[in-house]
Amino acid sequence: MKRVSKQEKLFIKEGLIMANIKDIAKMAGVSVTTVSRVLNDYPYVSAEKAEAVRQAMEKCNYQRNINAVHLSKGRTFLIGVVVPFSNHPYFGLLIEGIANAALNNNYKLVLIQTNYEEEKEVEALTMLKDKQIDALIICSRICDWGIIKEFIEYGPIVLCEDAREKNVSCTFVDHYKSFSSALHYLYGKGHSRIGYCIGRQSGTNSEQRSAAYTRFLEENSLSFNPDFIFSGCFNFEDGEKIVTDLMRMKERPTALLVTSDQVAAGILTCCKEHGIFIPEDLAIMGFDNQPISKVMHITTLEIPLVEVGRKLFYQAMDGERVSHEEIAVKFIERETV
């Protein structure tokens, strides 16, 4: 046991060296147990001893080492959030909802931006295993379910996709249902050449949309044209490429179902520049009801993303129970169809 010199005692008292709980105990004339009790608002400490502890802490500007607390308690009050991109309105809104709920519950976010690389997703899962985060929310992923399920035993994992057949919690939109209803709405408006724009073609959400589209075509005896499917559509600026592609096509869709209002807004803006009239030449329907859709009068389906984020957080906190929450999608009719 290293003996503390007089010089070090002086430094600790003046806050030049960080004091530890033993220093505080000695200075206050109590045991480390009593100091810990004061720190953790435990009832059985006399008022005078509690005050002595508080004064010692203030004199030394004491701050406990949080890693020691985490080791002892087995919790870090950090929650991991996996997103493919930070700079994207959809995920920005999810993060906002999660972040606000987290701060209201004394949790902090660890943001893991994956760029849709499996290795990064596994890093996030490993943080759960090595106890660096108390829970993990996966907003979008590329890794197989088989990988995720190996980590469930280490802590709560929550998905932002339909996981009703899996033993993890989720908050999700039934994309098959909402995509189908949007397709039927467009069909009811007289459209039979309908295309759609998505971010990527893999993933649970995208598979559901694809299935809905295929089913829709069959039900209505419509032929499938692969050129009517546009992927890689994430941001406003991606609308430009879609319009360029449309201009080149002999046979064009007369309606586009676009899985992001931002992209829909980009398409709309570029169509105006190229003399394509909306909705006469091309009807456009968005998703999410982001603020930009109101400004530009885009017909859309509303998903309350901040609220989804909030629910994801509370599911992650409820580590005892697995729950599956479906989010209702609301139809917002404006001027683009």
Partner DNA sequence: ATAATTTATGAAACGCGTTTCAAAGCAAGA
Partner DNA sequence: TCTTGCTTTGAAACGCGTTTCATAAATTAT
Contacts with its own copies, residue ranges (CB under 8 A): 63-68, 70-71, 76, 78, 81, 85-89, 92-93, 95-96, 99-100, 103, 108-113, 115, 120, 126-127, 129-132, 235-237, 239-240, 265-266, 269-270, 291-292, 294-296
Encoded tokens for 272: 């105006």
Instruction: Give the Cα separation of 159 and 137 in Å (integer).
Output: 6
Query: Does the protein bind DNA through residue 201 (CB under 7 A)?
Result: no
Binding at 164: pick from DNA, its own copies, none (beta carbon under 5-8 Å per type): none
Task: Report the residue number, 140 or 208, with the smaller CB distance to its own copies.
Answer: 140
Contact call for residue 22 and DNA (CB under 7 A) = yes
Angle at 202 between CA 97 and CA 332, to 5 degrees: 50
DSSP state of 40: T
195 bridge partner residues: 256
Q: Applying CB under 7 A, does 129 fall inside the site for DNA?
A: no
CA 33 to chain centre: 40
Kindly tell me which of 48 and 58 has the beta carbon lying closer to its own copies: 58
Question: Binding partner of residue 239 among its own copies, DNA, none, CB under 5 to 8 Å per kind?
Answer: its own copies
Q: What is the C-alpha to C-alpha distance for residues 82 and 71, in angstroms, rounded to an integer?
A: 24
Instruction: Output 51 or 281, the one with its CB closest to DNA.
Output: 51
Is residue 61 part of the contact set for DNA (CB under 7 A)? no
* Count of C-beta atoms within a 10 Å radius of residue 179: 27
**Which is nearest to 228 in space by CA: 197, 200, 260?**
197
Would you give the distance in Å from CA 68 to the centre of its chain? 29
Is residue 302 within 8 Å of residue 104, measured between CB atoms?
Answer: no
User: Rounded distance, CA 281 to CA 301, Å?
Assistant: 21
Q: Min. distance of Cβ 239 from its own copies in angstroms?
A: 7
- 49 binds DNA per the rule CB under 7 A: yes
Q: Name which of 117 and 219 has its Cβ closer to its own copies.
A: 117
Q: How far is the CB of 127 from DNA (least distance, A)?
A: 15
What is the footprint of DNA within residues 65-124 (CB under 7 A)? 65, 68-69, 71-73
Distance CA 64, CA 61 (A): 10
Closer to DNA by Cβ: residue 46 or 244: 46
Candidates 124, 61, 112; CA nearest to 84 is 112
- Find which of DNA, its own copies, none residue 195 binds, CB within 5 to 8 Å per kind: none
Residues lying near DNA in the complex (CB under 7 A): 1-2, 18, 20-22, 29-37, 39-40, 43-46, 48-49, 64-65, 68-69, 71-73
